[in-house]
């Protein structure tokens, strides 16, 4: 005897629930958000690791950078879990973010501690805007309040990182506007890529 799915009655256990057509596209959209955020948090961890590799443990800014790194690791852990739970394919460019993030952190730290702060401020400004756009979308659709809450918490910490970097002299580095502008263009390109690859 063959069982067909359309013979299900009201008593049939209904697992997993079938999404409505509208829900399905929103689920796919949130999956894409998770993928790009996962890539971004991975990149952030690598940037701070790159900074610390250059500045070393005893640099006066290292404790503060380690604190930011610890928060980025929490963000990344959460997205690692979301990627797994939702069955999202991680970005194919992970090996690239691995190297590019570390190189960006290390290169700016080599330019000096204020250039490292300028890098942090620029990256976090882009991430802040990126998370805000996702929150706006999630709030407008009321698609996943828990995910929106997660992003709101992370966004607040990214904004804190940016403020800390500015307090620590980000804008005082020579060529700040050009450096900051270039890093922001790079970050936006990275987000654009992570949405697609």
Q: Which region, judged by CB under 5 A, interacts with Fe ion, from 56-64, 87-95, 97-105, 152-160?
A: 152-160
Least separation, in Å, of the C-beta of 75 and Fe ion?
4
- Cβ within 8 Å of residue 33, ≥6 positions away: 134, 147
Q: Which stretch binds Fe ion (CB under 5 A): 2-10, 47-55, 66-74, 133-141?
A: 66-74
Q: How many residues does the chain have?
A: 197
Assess whether the previous peptide bond of 44 is cis (omega < 30° from 0).
Answer: no
User: Does 130 interact with Fe ion (rule: CB under 5 A)?
Assistant: no
CB proximity list for 20: less than 8 A, separation 6 or greater: none
C-alpha torsion 84→89→93→98, nearest 10: 0
Residue 44 touching Fe ion (CB under 5 A):
yes
CA 31 to chain centre: 13
CB of 120 to Fe ion, least distance (A): 8
Query: Does 125 engage in binding with Fe ion (CB under 5 A)?
Result: no
Consult the annotation and say whether 163 binds a ligand. Answer: no
Contacts with Fe ion by CB under 5 A lie at 41, 44, 72, 75, 158, 161
């Amino acid at each position: 005897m063959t069982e067909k799915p359309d013979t299900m009655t009201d008593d049939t256990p209904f697992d997993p629930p079938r999404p409505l057509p509208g829900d399905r596209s929103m689920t796919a959209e949130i999956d894409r958000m998770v993928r790009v955020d996962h890539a971004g948090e991975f990149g952030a961890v690598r940037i701070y690791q790159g900074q610390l590799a250059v500045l070393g443990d005893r640099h006066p800014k290292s404790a503060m950078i380690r604190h930011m790194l610890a928060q980025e690791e929490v963000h990344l852990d959460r997205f690692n879990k979301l990627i797994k739970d939702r069955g999202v394919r991680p970005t194919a460019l992970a090996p690239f973010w691995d190297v590019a993030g570390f190189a960006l952190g290390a290169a700016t730290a080599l330019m000096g501690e204020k250039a490292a702060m300028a890098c942090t401020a620029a990256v976090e400004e882009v991430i802040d805007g990126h998370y805000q756009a996702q929150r706006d979308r999630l709030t407008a659709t009321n698609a996943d309040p828990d995910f929106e809450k997660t992003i709101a918490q992370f966004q607040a910490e990214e904004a804190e990182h940016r403020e800390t970097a500015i307090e620590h002299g980000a804008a005082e580095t020579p060529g700040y506007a050009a450096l900051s502008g270039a890093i922001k263009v790079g970050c936006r390109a990275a987000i654009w890529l992570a949405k697609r690859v």
